[in-house]
Amino acid sequence: MNLFPPSARAAFFFVFLIFILSTPASFAGVYDGSASVYNTKLIDHKLTPQTVNELCRRAKAGETAAPGSGGVVLSALENHTVFWKCKIEKFTVLPDSFQLVVKTPEGFRFNAVAKKNVRNLDFDRTGFVVAIKGNLKFSGCKVNNINARSVILVEPSPALSLKKFTETNFPSGWMNMVNQSEKDPHYLSPLYPFLVHRIYMHNPNYSVSDIKKIAASILDYSEKCGLDPLLLTALLNIESAFDVDAVSSSGAIGLGQLMPFTARNLGVNPMDPAQNVGGAAIYLSRQLKKWKDTKDPAALALASYNAGPGAVERYNGIPPYSETQNYVFFIKFLRNEYLKQIRENRI
């Protein structure tokens, strides 16, 4: 016997459908669970290389004490997540991991170890400036290594710099773009060389036509949706590193990591790179409009993209999930890095 009458089943299905259609590309897996999980995965922005270096110095000098006594206990820091910007000086591929020697802008050198599933290390990144999120491991009174959980590409090696890239490829060279402005109006956009370079440095194996298609779609949909193209670019950068074939464990697809049901609701084919970018742009623009009267619409729109607008409403702000808190920070961090590079290269 069916315990629920047809009207009740229909009502339940309607509510469930509304919930599904309101969820964004990356909704799955953002709940941290316990407070301890949240605290260990949330980036501790106070734990800078300078701070750690000073704590190591104090520990070496004997300023240690039992936990809770106010002294220096380095092992307690291993439960903290750090986010450090550094340059890769040596890149070694081992059977089960990547071994990196990195140097921070302050001149501190560390070893970093990343598992093979860590994104952005599928090509030799020697000379690249990266941002590493991970946990410190200590040996005595010094940092033994950083266990990298994620690596974000910030700038390429000098040989692949934005300035050198644009001088070499625009208006001639690799891009083969001489007198192409009439055929490709995107060439007239000052951001086009930057976007092409950004996608290329992540995926140097992509064809010229594929890279141009992705860059053009970012500009097109940013204009159509009234978006900051650098914000959209940073979102795609964090979601998939511009990987058109990326598929998450929860089934999110492509550049903007669109879930199939989200893509259907947005009327896009997530397997098509341009439409995938379009879906991400449409969803992000809707969230920006939703939160336009708040203090930080961009932060809440990004949080909605990651955790769902329902979660943002429920907590009246960025939800207390370390993944979402870090996600919003990553995208804002990258957008600021983009602006610095564009200014420095006078694009």
Report how far residue 308's alpha carbon sits from residue 236's, in angstroms, rounded to the nearest whole number. Answer: 17
182 given a catalytic annotation: no
- Specify the DSSP class assigned to residue 288: H
Token code pair at residue 71: 């002294």
**In this structure, are residues 225 and 282 in contact, taking their beta carbons and an 8 Å threshold?**
yes
Q: Which of 148, 136, 133 is nearest to 79 (CA)?
A: 136
Do the strands 142-155 and 81-93 form a parallel or antiparallel pair, or are they unpaired?
A: unpaired
Q: How far is CA 346 from the centre of its chain?
A: 25
Q: How many CB atoms lie within 10 A of CB 267?
A: 10
Catalytic residue among 155, 239, 323, 337: 239
Q: What is the DSSP string of 199-217?
A: HHHH-TTS-HHHHHHHHHH
C-alpha dist (Å) from residue 149 to 97, 135, 153, 235, 334: 12, 8, 14, 19, 17
Do the strands 142-155 and 109-115 form a parallel or antiparallel pair, or are they unpaired?
A: parallel
Catalytic sites, residue numbers: 239
